Structure 1
């Protein structure tokens, strides 16, 4: 694996772990300990409107501490680039474990669904909705634990005990609850609908290969 110097004691490998709306995610490796973390690289010169969304994502993600959610470690800002440091999930995306038209063993689907719902319950208890639950945003750790990632579309639906309806149509179409496309909707049921679609994909292998979102 080739790697280049990034910051003190860390090497940036050529391994691309994923791609998002504003850039790519690469693997960082510590020179001496060989510890691995993920680094989301945002190109502000290319994506002029990224700052507001990235700031919201960071504010939400740094609040979170749960075994079924990817850990946030910190950020580094430069004039035209920004780096967000995250927990590395060696098992890759849940998407990669779903065999087309087959799925996966039901015992595995049950385990991952339980872990997904556990992480989602934690978010909802904090008043946070993810709004883009799909297999590509669910990562697997080296020991097989599912972890929710990518909080680029997440937002608060409850603040100081007061809930609000969502009115932004965002997410990935095959996983959206029907009400998201029609009118203001409640956040929690919409996230749970997406979890149900993910479960169907795990059990049947039927999913939409289009990774694009609607917003």
Structure 2
């Protein structure tokens, strides 16, 4: 079998020597997917004599990004990526460095982003939303148990695999926090549309409670296909958050159970101290509506137990500096297979054939960034009449 190497040196600016070095390690860099704030994401493959694995690679040129990112956020991200391994978090296959450029190879999620799925398919039926949302809460419970806060939870950072499993991704703003200090964050990151009032008000905040708010916005979007607040005016948005001035579209409100509304209500609680935790969400009446979701399966339990065993004293041992002068290819994280396999379909209370018929979504992730931003803005509607064009 012959594998063709996709080389776009002139377009990306990467030297042939770098692409050849990656190829010797078994990595093939393929088509462009998107551009992020601090790098480019591309489709890639990892090839051995006996197998070929689809991956994506996040490419970060440390000479082209801010000093604050390289010295503060990037070392945190790399440190956390090397520690986490959970069935509902996108797994990191390996991390390589070539001079000033980092290559973070991660699992490929064939069905793309949750945002695109909701835009294309409409509000999720509660049976499916419940299963998927529980997976996200379990992922967040795992992180919070390790005293990790994500700080950028949004529909664009939640991916769907080919077997319809949720995967939390993008740890660019994540960090370890001190559990003995409630107001443990003072960097005002995350997307405005998903930010809680305490972040909009630029006060020191509880990172875990902030993650819960963002996840509440995600649930609202999943079952309502609409953002709860319009972020075009931050001052007005803050007032709407504090006064709970958000509502469900009339076309779906009667179909949403009171248990689901209660879950959203307690996650979008403007007072951080009163906001639900992951444990309360997992024990909510809405989750219990599917008896199969009450008890964790073996992989979910194993992941949580391992999180509890993490040595707390090692949290602050981050990579202090990214050495961009090394001319070789450094392996910052050795190649590793996914540790957990999902059993999503066995828990679903929906027709599996219905899921399998959705193969048309398999290339949704490759929509260019500009199109994704445009589609995201379509969710920001204030009335039922203005939202008819996306139903």
TM-score normalised by the shorter chain: which range applies?
0.7 to 0.9
1:110 shift after superposition: 1.5
Equivalent residue for 1:36, pick from 36, 54, 60: 54
Taking CA–CA contacts closer than 8 Å with sequence separation of 6 or more, which of the two structures ends up with the larger relative contact order? 2
After superposition, residues 102-141 of structure 1 pair within 5 angstroms as 102-141=122-161
Q: Which residue does 2:214 correspond to in 1?
A: 194
Maintained 8 Å contact 1:98/1:202? yes
More strand by share: 1
For 1:53-90, what per-residue CA distance to the aligned partner results, in whole angstroms no more than 9, with x for missing partners? 22210001111011011112222212231111112212
Maintained 8 Å contact 1:101/1:206? no
Alpha-carbon RMSD: 2.2
TM-score, with length taken from structure 1? 0.87
Does residue 3 of the first structure (1) align with residue 6 of the second (2)?
yes
TM-score, with length taken from structure 2? 0.50
Equivalent residue for 1:13, pick from 8, 14, 30: 30
SS for the counterpart of 2:102 is strand
Q: Which residue does 1:213 correspond to in 2?
A: none
Uncovered stretches (5+) of structure 2, i.e. residues with no partner:
8-18, 231-375, 378-391
The 1-side partners of 2:116 and 2:53 are apart by 24
Further displaced range: 65-74 or 5-14: 5-14
1:119 shift after superposition: 0.2
Further displaced range: 54-63 or 78-87: 78-87
The 2-side partners of 1:96 and 1:2 are apart by 29
Maintained 8 Å contact 2:182/2:205? no
SS for the counterpart of 1:35 is strand
Q: Which residue does 2:198 correspond to in 1?
A: 179
The structure whose Rg is larger is: 2
Maintained 8 Å contact 2:31/2:44? no
Q: Which residue does 1:150 correspond to in 2?
A: 170
Uncovered stretches (5+) of structure 1, i.e. residues with no partner:
211-215
SS for the counterpart of 1:25 is strand
Maintained 8 Å contact 1:100/1:205? no
Equivalent residue for 2:180, pick from 138, 162, 177: 162
More helix by share: 2
Maintained 8 Å contact 2:5/2:28? no
Maintained 8 Å contact 1:2/1:14? no
Aligned residues: 207
1:15 shift after superposition: 4.0
Maintained 8 Å contact 2:154/2:194? yes
Does residue 69 of the first structure (1) align with residue 69 of the second (2)?
no
